[in-house]
Amino acid sequence: MENYYLGVDVGSVSTNLVLIDDENNILCKKYLRTQGKPIEILKEGLKELKEEIGDVNILGAGSTGSGRYLADLIIGADIVKNEITSHAISSLNFIPDVQTIIEIGGQDSKIIIIRDGIVVDFAMNTVCAAGTGSFLDRQAYRLGIPIEDFGRMALKSNNPVRIAGRCAVFAESDMIHKQQLGHNQEDIVWGLCQALVRNYLNNVGKGKDIKGPVMFQGGVAANMGIKRAFESQLGLEVFIPEYFDVMGAVGVAMLARNEVKKKKFSNFKGLEIADVDYKVRGIECNGCANACEIVEICGDNKILARYGDKCGKWSNIKNENTKLA
């Protein structure tokens, strides 16, 4: 039987799962909306995986994304890795001499600069939404265009209009203004793609030494308009990997495989965990002025973890939970 490795990427917007084999072939991928319920969605993803692939040999698992520690608790990960490293690992596998990785997701974006196969610099977006997918979602909604059609429309534009992209609120009013001036939708959509890319390059990409080959991934990479806008503003060809929306999960699956081969055993609890009933409870601590909001996770009538405290009063219930963020 083939051997497989599971990679899980739990982010605030999407939860992704992939199974890869020893040759980095992807057997199966799941892209689900997190909807603020990471545990439920993760379980659902595991259930879907199980139904789709039946009984296969999963030798190890890894977790990444902002919910990586939570995912670790549920699945029993062999490695827990941040998103930057995970993305870099998988991208290097697809284009070994990649020098720049652009990643844009629903609510966050990052840039990773690589030289000679090593990460030398990176940045993640801060509070601003104007350089992320949610910006496009919102404008698409205002224009009454399904977001799926956005890229196709943008490519049809002949008379580009410039839309101020410094901030999501400005962009919106500027877009409405351009609409009233009678610009057609294709041109406005293309203008929005350009605005997003400009914003990304000025914020996340500020001061970064962007060189080709450039890889573009994350959910927004589905949008061909954005790819074109990057190419026109960077003057470089931009590559989109086949599994652009699950690259973090692929990377951590690769790292998990490496880890399991090194240590010769796995912590992975098996896909059956999808059937365990997990309960999540919020507790407000009144132990001191920090008033921390504690999250408690129970499964099988046991407390699996508590986290969210500043002092360790709650999270130290068991030693194995001390690595919780």
- Asked if residue 297 lies in contact with residue 282, where contact means CB atoms within 8 angstroms, the answer is no
282 binds other proteins (CB under 8 A): no
Q: Please, which residue, 118 or 181, has the CB nearer to other proteins?
A: 118
Query: What's the min distance (Å) between Cβ of 294 and ligand SF4?
Result: 6
Residue type, position 169, single letter: V
Query: What's the min distance (Å) between Cβ of 284 and ligand SF4?
Result: 8
Q: What ranges in 95-204 are assigned the alpha helix state H?
A: 133-143, 147-155, 168-180, 185-202
Of all residues in this chain, which one has the CB nearest to ligand SF4 in the complex? 287
Q: Please, which residue, 169 or 311, has the CB nearer to ligand SF4?
A: 311
Query: What's the min distance (Å) between Cβ of 166 and other proteins?
Result: 17
Q: Element (H or E) spanning 258, and its range?
A: helix 247-263
| Residue of 152, 156, 310, 323 interacting with ligand SF4 (CB under 6 A) | 310
Region 108-147 residues binding other proteins, contact defined as CB under 8 A: 117-122, 124, 126-127
d(CA 127, CA 168): 12
Instruction: Report CA-CA distances (Å) from 260 to 7, 18, 264, 296, 323.
Output: 13, 17, 5, 29, 20
Count of residues that interact with other proteins, criterion CB under 8 A: 35
Q: Please, which residue, 281 or 310, has the CB nearer to ligand SF4?
A: 310
- Asked if residue 41 lies in contact with residue 278, where contact means CB atoms within 8 angstroms, the answer is no
Question: Which two structure tokens, joined as six digits, stand for 178?
Answer: 């351009």
Question: Which two structure tokens, joined as six digits, stand for 113?
Answer: 């600069």
Positive or negative, the CA dihedral 155, 156, 157, 163 is negative
Q: Please, which residue, 22 or 149, has the CB nearer to other proteins?
A: 22
Count of residues that interact with ligand SF4, criterion CB under 6 A: 11
82 binds other proteins (CB under 8 A): yes
Between CA 22 and CA 29, with CA 23 as vertex, the angle to 5 degrees is 85
Q: Which of 128, 86, 91 is CA-nearest to residue 109?
A: 128
Query: What's the min distance (Å) between Cβ of 298 and ligand SF4?
Result: 18
167 binds other proteins (CB under 8 A): no
Stretch that binds other proteins, among 49-57, 151-159, 167-175, 288-296 (CB under 8 A): 288-296
Q: Which of 263, 258, 246, 275 is CA-nearest to residue 15?
A: 246
Residues in the chain: 325
* Beta-sheet strands, E only, within 41-157: 57-64, 79-80, 100-104, 109-115, 118-124
Q: Please, which residue, 89 or 220, has the CB nearer to other proteins?
A: 89
Region 274-303 residues binding ligand SF4, contact defined as CB under 6 A: 285, 287-288, 290-292
Query: What's the min distance (Å) between Cβ of 238 and other proteins?
Result: 22
286 binds other proteins (CB under 8 A): no
Question: Which two structure tokens, joined as six digits, stand for 35?
Answer: 């909807």
Residues in contact with other proteins by CB under 8 A are 22-24, 66, 81-85, 88-89, 92-93, 96, 117-122, 124, 126-127, 207, 254-255, 257-258, 288-292, 310, 325
Residues of the shown chain interacting with ligand SF4 in the complex, contacts defined by CB under 6 A: 285, 287-288, 290-292, 309-311, 313-314
